[in-house]
Structure 1
Amino acid sequence: MKRQRISLLSCVLLVMILVLTNVSPVFANGSDNYTIDMKQVQEDWEKAAKVPLVQDKISENSKGIELSAYGTYPTRKGVILVTPDKFKGIIPTGHAAIIYTSTTVVESLSGGVTTGPNDWNKTRSKCYGVTVSGTTTTQDSNAADWCYRQRGKSYNWNYLNVSTRSSFYCSQLVWAAFLDLYGIDLDTGSYGVAVHPMELVNTSRTSKIYEN
């Protein structure tokens, strides 16, 4: 147990050193290695910042009444949250989740798929809220339910294996929900088959409704 803790700490420290020295971190990918292109990541952060804000979609049951004020932090079920913040030593290139309730998100952390607080506007230095284009608010809600049903599944450390549904990394979880339910592919291809969190902002199939 002590050796495992030392090994885990060493891995986290190594990733931090690689990031701070601008060296692209390498992650296990089955029998291969997957290298994160930090230059591409930086370009995607800059691109996401330039995506214009739009009003959130209107519920099919709202009779034209707006769900929330323009640019306010989202609490609607099915809205996707993305941050470029380095997150808890898992992947030093951002994190993604989907809103389940006004106070809860579904996300995949190192321990697997779980729920967490919907407080990213307070706990992240930068946060984006995006909604998928071409879906209704009911469909977005169903996507959040799909993610919620994956709770307890392990974290997917094989970032190129996006076809698996037995384990998930953060952005793969959100991507898989809309792909499996509606055939909507939120992957831009910037990282090959891997799905990076910032792709969920930069894809033409989502609209940015919040930015802090």
Structure 2
Amino acid sequence: MTAWNAEVPKPVVGDWKVENAGAANEARVGSWSWRDGVICITDAKLSGIINHGHAGIVAAAPYYYAVIEANPGTGVKPHYGSWVSRFSGQVWQVGVKSTSVAQDQKAAQWAARQIGKPYNREFYNVWTRSKFYCSQLVWAAYRDTAGPSADISLNSYGAAIHPFELRDHPNTALIYRKY
């Protein structure tokens, strides 16, 4: 039997949007992408024995080299520096296939406007915009800026959104993987 959070096999395609964008502020650092709106996911164990993962979104200016994320106790805030060195487990980056670079940047800017909001412990309350948990923040950034065609949740009935859903959704492509 496969674990509920087992990775759906996807090839690493790199940040295909960077090659097509040509903008100076979208440079890559190795295989990791600091392009606005790229989704970051880790298998970090943040509570008990259940590995539910963690998610964030690469921030737009003025939050250079930061990932905006929501954490218990601190709420929504930018975290500066590398996720690769911050998390000892697996780390992934994915991009949304159906969006443009401009739409990705809008999602990152939207996420930045949520900084300071509290953490959402009501995991099934995905439609609230007054508080966020990590994967809800990322999902809402795309849902609220690019619309339903950019949906990256594997459920359509309002259930909690897990980081692994963002990684494994057919509308996302794998940019980076670290084991």
Shorter-chain TM-score range: 0.7 to 0.9
Partner of 1:23: none
Residue 57 of structure 1: how far off its partner (Å): 2.4
- Return the match for 1:150 from 104, 110, 114: 114
Partner of 1:200: 166
Distance 1:134 1:160 in 2: 26
Residue 58 of structure 1: how far off its partner (Å): 2.7
Distance 1:155 1:58 in 2: 31
Letter of the aligned partner of 1:121 in structure 2?
A: V
Q: Secondary structure of 1:154's partner?
A: coil
Q: Secondary structure of 1:53's partner?
A: coil
* Higher RCO (Cα < 8 Å, 6 or more apart): 2
Distance 2:47 2:159 in 1: 24
Distance 2:103 2:96 in 1: 10
Residue 105 (1) aligns with residue 53 (2): no
C-alpha contact 1:153 1:167 (8 A) present in aligned 2: yes
Distance 1:191 1:88 in 2: 25
Q: Tell me the percent identity.
A: 39
Partner of 1:43: 4
C-alpha contact 1:99 1:118 (8 A) present in aligned 2: no
Distance 1:78 1:188 in 2: 19
Q: Secondary structure of 1:141's partner?
A: helix
Higher helix share: 1
Matched residue count: 167
CA RMSD of aligned residues (A): 2.5
TM-score, normalising length from structure 2?
A: 0.83
Residue 62 of structure 1: how far off its partner (Å): 1.3
Residue 43 of structure 1: how far off its partner (Å): 3.2
Residue 199 of structure 1: how far off its partner (Å): 0.5
C-alpha contact 1:102 1:118 (8 A) present in aligned 2: no
Q: Secondary structure of 2:94's partner?
A: strand
Give unmatched runs, 5+ long, in structure 2. Answer: none
CA change 1:61–1:190 in 2 (3 A) is closer
Letter of the aligned partner of 1:189 in structure 2?
A: N
